[in-house]
Amino acid sequence: MPKTWKSAELRLAKALGTERTGPTGRDDNDVKHPYLAVECKYRQKLPKWALDCLEQARTGKTAAGKLPIVVLLEKRMSLEDGIVVLRFADFMDLWRKSAPADDPIHTRGLSIQA
């Protein structure tokens, strides 16, 4: 599959058991989903510092068996408005455990290998 923003949205939608919204001309999310408001941002390269932070969370001395996350805050930002970064695979593990029973992740038996 070509590595474009459009194909990234398609792969994400498929992994979540739904479909891409597409360029509708409306202010809408990239992926249709009954419970998640999904945006997909595809870049040639992600910031190295962000990847390094996640790697540091994953490999920390006491990290074994824990969910690695990075919380991003900017100056004067409240903690509630901080951004949590985690691997998509880790998110999917959490979502499978907590998603409502009628969510596509349960009704379609999906995996991130989609």
Q: In this predicted structure, what is the pLDDT of residue 114?
A: 47
Domain parsing of the chain, residue ranges: 1-44, 45-101
Condensed to tens digits (0 to 9), the pLDDT of residues 4-61 reads: 889 999 999 999 999 999 776 678 899 999 999 999 999 999 999 999 999 999 999 9
Q: In this predicted structure, what is the pLDDT of residue 24?
A: 66
Q: In this predicted structure, what is the pLDDT of residue 106?
A: 79
Span 83-100, average pLDDT: 93
pTM, 2 dp = 0.80
Q: In this predicted structure, what is the pLDDT of residue 25?
A: 63
Q: What is the 3-state secondary structure (H, E, C) of the chain?
A: CCCCHHHHHHHHHHHCCCCECCCCCCCCCCECCCCCCECCCCCCCCCHHHHHHHHHHHHCCCCCCCCCCEEECCCCCCHHHCEEECCHHHHHHHHHHHCCCCCHHHHCCCCCCC
Choose between 112 and 80: higher pLDDT: 80
For residue 109, is pLDDT > 60? no
For residue 105, is pLDDT > 60? yes
